[in-house]
């Protein structure tokens, strides 16, 4: 759903435009999805926007690298969104890049015995019955296990912390007492770890409830996968940025903000880039938590104690022929978790040579301690698993490979972390925080980042007497799901 984009002055707040005739200036530090979303929302609210990104290209963690062998862009790690990611999808729609997101309604699971399960929620059944065909499609589970999974999903949706409970349980502790081991290993573990980017031993149950309710139960389209069919660097670094520039946003890349400058009253007056002070009526810090803590010491709780990152690894493989005959696959009960094959037209017009290699990547979330840190063993394991599943992989020759691990890919959503995630408004009246680690109610994802940017832009707009559009609505939940999730 697209929201209104009119800018309504708020008479209770000061509007610098009234004094100078110029629109209020907001400076956004960081050009990841949070900063880009904030820029879009702030400019729609009538603010003059200057975005400053430290790297050569915007996109932050949702970025690509140049594969020198072929001169093509390759995503550091495949990103996917779900149907429930309404703000991310809305931003893509507004920027005209939604056409390069492929919608997969069917989730392809590959069981431990190699059997394929095509799991598609029914669009014609009301929630939560829409999940029945998805569950029945899981051929690697017995009927008993499918029933146990359905009951577990509903119990999870209606879970709420006991009043006396100081800390919420971890997913592993809660599931171990209520779900069969095989269902945990072959459903909950891969689903939770890929949705939250963290091990079930560490994630708090409230984050898992969010995945169950918003990602599965809420709506027949909630679990749809939205898979970029062009490199992220092209989608966000070029096209989204190009769209923002066409709307008057000024974007400076390759420049690190060294400090946030404040006046004697503590208000922010701008940011320092090299010797230059870039003046601002409001500043949005859309940088990771450590960078935010460095730029404004004392503003956040001690970040190294409060926040931990969780690693995600992508194993990039180039074969001499396509090896996967599915749009994607969830590999359960293995080291490899997801496999994606690059669309053959994804790089049309971008390739520097005619090398006919076929790129696929295996994504492994919560990848700390993977294969004891032995990269050669990891590569052998992953390739061996693909050969065991896809007959074409047995015939194919592996031309080259690359393993990319981001040690702090996402915020680890451990029990209690939501109590320390800060809101957009900070203790400084005209300084605002954005980023997937801030308090959005969402895990650390592209959706969380876009929401945080929009929330920060709304708060910044308010501080200068403007009004920004509200968040895009969630997918509608029927009465039954609302009751269940509230109970």
Ligand X SMILES: Cc1cc2nc3c(=O)[nH]c(=O)nc-3n(C[C@H](O)[C@H](O)[C@H](O)COP(=O)(O)OP(=O)(O)OC[C@H]3O[C@@H](n4cnc5c(N)ncnc54)[C@H](O)[C@@H]3O)c2cc1C
Name the percent of the chain in helix, strand, coil, to the closest 5. 35, 20, 45
Residues 338 and 469: their CA atoms lie apart, in Å, by: 36
Minimum distance from residue 219 beta carbon to ligand X (Å): 18
Is 287 a residue that touches ligand X (CB under 6 A)?
A: yes
Hey, how many other C-beta atoms are within 10 angstroms of the C-beta on 480?
Answer: 13
Measuring CA to CA, how many Å separate 473 from each of 47, 87, 344, 462?
A: 23, 8, 35, 20
What single-letter DSSP state applies at residue 121?
-
Nearer to ligand X, 34 or 91 (CB): 34
Is 180 a binder of ligand X (CB under 6 A)? no
By C-beta, is 149 or 455 nearer to ligand X?
A: 455
Question: Does residue 284 contact residue 460 with C-beta atoms inside 8 Å?
Answer: yes
Counting contacts by CB under 6 A, is residue 60 touching ligand X?
yes
The site that binds ligand X (CB under 6 A) totals a number of residues, namely 36
Short-list 322, 328, 323, 325, CA closest to 108? 328
**Smallest gap, in angstroms, from Cβ of residue 474 to ligand X?**
16
Binding ligand X by CB under 6 A: which of 23, 30, 169, 233?
30
User: Counting contacts by CB under 6 A, is residue 31 touching ligand X?
Assistant: yes
Select from 235, 197, 231, 233 the least CA-distant residue to 359: 231
Q: Which is nearer to ligand X, 159 or 442 (CB)?
A: 442
- Please report how close the Cβ of residue 445 comes to ligand X at its closest, in angstroms: 3
25 contacts ligand X (rule: CB under 6 A)? no
Nearer to ligand X, 113 or 275 (CB): 275
306 binds ligand X (CB under 6 A): no
Q: Does 286 bind ligand X (CB under 6 A)?
A: yes
DSSP-H helix ranges across 278-432: 289-295, 303-306, 375-389, 391-395
Q: Which is nearer to ligand X, 53 or 70 (CB)?
A: 53
Q: Which region among 17-25, 32-40, 158-166, 214-222 touches ligand X (by CB under 6 A)?
A: 32-40
Restricting to residues 434-473, name those near ligand X by CB under 6 A: 435-436, 444-449
Q: Which of 40, 41, 45, 62 binds ligand X (CB under 6 A)?
A: 62
Give whichever of 127 and 227 is closer to ligand X, judged by the CB atom: 227
Q: Is 300 a binder of ligand X (CB under 6 A)? A: no
Considering the complex, state which of residue 127 and residue 312 has its C-beta at the smaller distance from ligand X. 312
Q: Tell me whether residue 61 or residue 146 sits nearer to ligand X (CB atom).
A: 61
Residue from 23, 24, 25, 35 in contact with ligand X (CB under 6 A):
35
Residues of span 255-274 touching ligand X by CB under 6 A: 256-257
**CB-nearer residue toward ligand X: 196 or 200:** 196
Q: How far is the CB of 36 from ligand X (least distance, A)?
A: 7
Query: Which of 268, 313, 291 is CA-nearest to residue 437?
Result: 291
Task: Rule CB under 6 A: say whether 409 interacts with ligand X.
Answer: yes
CA R_g for the chain: 23
Q: Distance between CA atoms of 356 and 354, rounded to whole angstroms?
A: 6
Beta carbons within 8 Å of 74's beta carbon, 6+ residues apart: 64, 65, 66, 67, 231, 316, 342, 359
Residue placing its CB nearer to ligand X in the complex, 139 or 262: 262
C-alpha 134 chain-centroid distance: 24
Q: Does 196 participate in binding ligand X (rule CB under 6 A)?
A: no
Instruction: Give me the least distance between CB of 89 and ligand X, in Å please.
Output: 11
Is residue 423 part of the contact set for ligand X (CB under 6 A)? no
Phi, psi for 51 (deg, rounded to 5): -105, 135
Between the alpha carbon of residue 469 and those of residues 81, 346, 448, the distances in Å are 22, 33, 17
Judged by beta carbon, residue 62 or residue 484, the one nearer ligand X is: 62
228 binds ligand X per the rule CB under 6 A: no
What b/e readout covers 364-387, taking b as 16+ CB neighbours within 10 angstroms? bbbbeebbeeeeeebbebbbebbb
Residue 61 in contact with ligand X, rule: CB under 6 A: yes
Phi and psi at residue 308, to the nearest 5°: -130, 150
Phi and psi angles of residue 418, each rounded to the nearest 5 degrees, phi first: -65, -20
Q: Does 92 bind ligand X (CB under 6 A)?
A: no
The CB-of-163 to ligand X minimum distance in angstroms stands at: 32
CB of 95 to ligand X, least distance (A): 15
DSSP string, 63-109: -EEEETTTTEEEESS---EETT-HHHHHHHHHHT-GGGEEEE-SEEE
312 binds ligand X (CB under 6 A): yes
Contact (CB, 8 A) for 467 and 7 = yes
75 near ligand X (CB under 6 A): no
**Among residues 47, 101, 33, which one has the least CA distance to residue 430?**
47
Residue (77 or 89) nearer to ligand X, CB? 77
Stretch that binds ligand X, among 60-68, 92-100, 144-152, 168-176 (CB under 6 A): 60-68
Which residues are at the interface with ligand X (CB under 6 A)? 29-35, 52-55, 60-62, 77, 79-81, 256-257, 286-288, 291, 312, 406, 409-410, 435-436, 444-449
């Amino acid at each position: 759903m697209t929201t209104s984009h009119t800018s309504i002055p708020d008479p209770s707040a000061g509007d610098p435009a009234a004094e100078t005739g110029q629109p209020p200036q907001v400076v956004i530090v960081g050009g990841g999805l949070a900063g880009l979303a904030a820029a879009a929302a702030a400019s729609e609210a009538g603010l003059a926007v200057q975005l400053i990104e430290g790297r050569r290209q915007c996109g932050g963690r949702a970025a690509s690298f140049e594969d020198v062998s072929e001169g093509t862009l390759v995503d550091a790690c495949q990103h996917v969104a779900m149907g429930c990611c309404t703000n991310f999808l809305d931003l893509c729609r507004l920027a005209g890049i939604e056409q390069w997101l492929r919608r997969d309604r069917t989730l392809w699971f590959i069981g431990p015995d190699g059997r394929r399960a095509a799991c598609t929620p029914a669009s014609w059944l009301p929630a939560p019955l829409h999940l029945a065909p998805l569950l029945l499609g899981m051929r690697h589970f017995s009927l008993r296990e499918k029933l146990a999974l359905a009951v577990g999903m509903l119990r999870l949706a209606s879970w709420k912390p006991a009043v006396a409970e100081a800390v919420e349980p971890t997913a592993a502790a809660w599931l171990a007492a209520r779900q069969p081991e095989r269902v945990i290993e072959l459903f909950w573990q891969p689903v939770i770890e890929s949705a939250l980017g963290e091990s079930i031993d560490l994630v708090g149950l409230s984050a898992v409830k969010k995945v169950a309710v918003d990602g599965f139960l809420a709506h027949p389209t909630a679990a749809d996968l939205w898979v970029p069919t062009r490199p992220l660097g092209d989608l966000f670094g070029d096209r989204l940025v190009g769209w923002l520039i066409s709307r008057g946003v000024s974007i400076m890349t390759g420049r690190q903000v060294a400090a946030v400058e404040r006046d004697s009253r503590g208000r922010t007056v701008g940011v320092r880039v090299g010797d230059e002070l870039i003046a601002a009526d409001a500043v949005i810090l859309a940088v990771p938590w450590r960078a935010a803590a460095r730029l404004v010491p004392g503003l956040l709780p001690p970040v190294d104690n409060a926040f931990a990152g969780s690693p995600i690894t992508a194993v990039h493989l180039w074969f001499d022929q396509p090896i996967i005959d599915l749009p994607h696959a969830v590999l359960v009960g293995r080291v490899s978790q997801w496999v994606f094959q690059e669309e053959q037209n994804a790089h049309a017009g971008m390739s520097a040579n005619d090398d006919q290699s076929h790129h696929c990547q295996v994504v492994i979330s919560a990848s700390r301690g993977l294969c004891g840190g032995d990269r050669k063993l990891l590569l052998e394991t992953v390739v061996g698993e693909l050969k065991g599943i896809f007959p074409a992989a047995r015939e194919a020759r592996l031309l080259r490979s690359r393993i990319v691990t981001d040690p702090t890919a996402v915020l680890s959503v451990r029990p209690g972390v939501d109590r320390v995630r800060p809101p957009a408004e900070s203790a400084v009246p005209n300084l605002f925080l954005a980023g997937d680690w801030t308090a959005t109610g969402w895990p650390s994802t592209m959706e969380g980042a876009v929401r945080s940017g929009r929330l920060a832009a709304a708060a910044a707009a308010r501080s200068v007497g403007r009004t920004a559009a509200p968040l895009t609505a969630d997918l509608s939940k029927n009465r039954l799901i609302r009751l269940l999730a509230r109970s």
